[in-house]
A and B are shown apart, each in its own frame.
Chain A
Amino acid sequence: MSNEQVRKMTDIMSQFVGFTAKKLPDDVIAKLEELRSREDSPMAKVIYDTMFRNQDLAVKLNRPSCQDTGVLQFWVKCGTKFPLIDDLEALLKEAVIDSTIKTPLRHNSVETFDEYNTGKNVGKGTPTVWWDIVPNSDQCEIYTYMAGGGCTLPGNATVLMPGEGYEGITKFVLDRMTSYGLNACPPLLVGVGVGTSVETAALNSKKALMRPIGSHSDNANAAKMEKLLEDGINAIGLGPQGMGGKYSVMGVNIENTARHPSAIGVAVNVGCWSHRRGHIVFDKDLNFTVDTHTGFEYKEN
């Protein structure tokens, strides 16, 4: 593939990542507006007012809305015939380095064991790239996510015995909400993964966080459980910042895969109120569409 195309896609991704640091996705803004209108305590109102003022200022002053711009994570669904498939992982890393300087993003990549900050926001295995290969397609779909420290901390996965059942999953998720969730900047988006082992459950839980707020699992029982967990966590009353209110979450999304008869893998992953996810789809000529955000414009250098 031509260097020109690689440079162009790198630029687009760098600018898109920077944009997502400054403006929240449309569905997140809409949900926060809805929750804000339903809270009536003075404290909850003051906190929501501050959040909306902050998001306005971030756009106006062109600054990242939260100082923790996270570790960048990309979930790519790449067609085998997408012309830049060979260059994709390297160009995403390059895009993060570029965006780190231009946005600017905080330096959030610490090499493990050697324990030093690379100062470039990339390192061994960061940004994280998860691949789904799509046969006979020439498109490339990329979910972007800024995984901040505060909302990464509640993440947890385990394998339950079948005897513990979905009741055990309920307890596992709800326990995490009151121990760690309240410090992870509620209202949260909660991703629950159900599968056979820790890593299948964990990856499902992250993919669940990429689904739009208000979407439902297409499995009827899983959708029922999403609703039960959402209502149940709301009833705990964490409110904005975990300081009390009528609502705790923006939603609960469950993603599931099959399991071994003897095991139920379960994982929970949360996104903070400042849920900086993006979704961009490229065609083979690098024309792109963004369905998470309005207002993103690529400026050619």
Chain B
Amino acid sequence: MSVELKDGKKILHNPISREDLKDIHIGDIIYLTGDITTCRDVAHRRVVEEGRPLPVDVRDAAILHAGPIIRPLGDDKFEMVSVGPTTSMRMEKFEYEFTKETGVRVIVGKGGMKENTERACKEFGAIHCVFPAGNAVVAAVEVKEIVEAQWRDLGMPETLWHCHVEEFGPLIVSIDSYGRNYFEEKKVEYNKKKDEQIELISKQVGFIK
């Protein structure tokens, strides 16, 4: 069993199975202990468009859409100084194929994603979560160790930094393994309220007479 309940926190430990995700729904808050690898634009492109295998095994584990600030400690050791999620939507066009190829279970980033990711989450049993953005120091101190760095030719932000994390989060589930999408559902509500407000305010700003 890879789901632990501790002090009211729901903590996923990898390896994570499809089964482990079945009681997790959009809007839930979870934490992750285990492996997460930073993976963003070019890495997705290499896997999906160039068909190259990802040099870090993320099967049943997690990826993080982020470009961190890393401090080299010498002897091929590194320290995580600052790591905040980047906009997940940039990876949307690749995420179905990427999930299919790599078997990743938990995708962490910023903001929502769309149909390709919904389809991937539903078909392969995965989830997309949001790490609250702007909290780069919290995320950095939850990284306990950087265990390897691959595709270093991509430079610091795009390198695959394979991290060991402890209670990494809060992670808010934005797409669950049933394909439900938190942001898309909220947007319907926001737009309805927005239209009401436009009408209401417009009645009070007739300054041109």
Contacts and interface: CB of A to CB of B under 8 A. Distances in A.
Binding partners A and B: yes
Nearest to A239: B186
Nearest to B182: A243
B194 interface: yes
Contacts of B183: 182, 242-243
B84 A170 contact: no
Given A67-B68, A241-B132, A236 B190 contact: yes
B193 to A, nearest CB: 5
Contacts of A42: 29
A249 to B, nearest CB: 12
Interface stretch (A77-85, A197-205, A221-229): A221-229
Contacts of A14: none
Contacts, number: 145
Contact of A236 (B132, B135, B193): B193
Interface residues of A, number: 53
Interface in B116-163: 130, 132-138, 140-141
B74 to A, nearest CB: 18
Interface stretch (A1-9, A127-135, A136-144, A161-169): A161-169
Given A167-B205, A183-B87, A237-B189, A66 B197 contact: no
A51 B131 CA distance: 11
A273 B205 contact: no
B205 A228 contact: yes
A257 interface: no
Contacts of A190: none
Contact of A165 (B132, B140, B186, B205): B205
Interface size class of B (residues with CB under 8 A): 35 or more
Given A50-B132, A241-B130, 19 more contacts: A43-B27, A47-B172, A51-B132, A61-B141, A66-B134, A66-B136, A67-B83, A150-B87, A167-B198, A174-B194, A174-B197, A178-B187, A182-B183, A183-B111, A235-B196, A235-B197, A236-B197, A242-B186, A273-B134
Interface of A: 42-43, 46-47, 50-51, 53-54, 57-58, 61, 63-68, 104, 106, 150, 162, 165-167, 169-171, 174-175, 177-178, 182-183, 185, 221, 224-225, 228-229, 232-233, 235-238, 240-244, 272-274
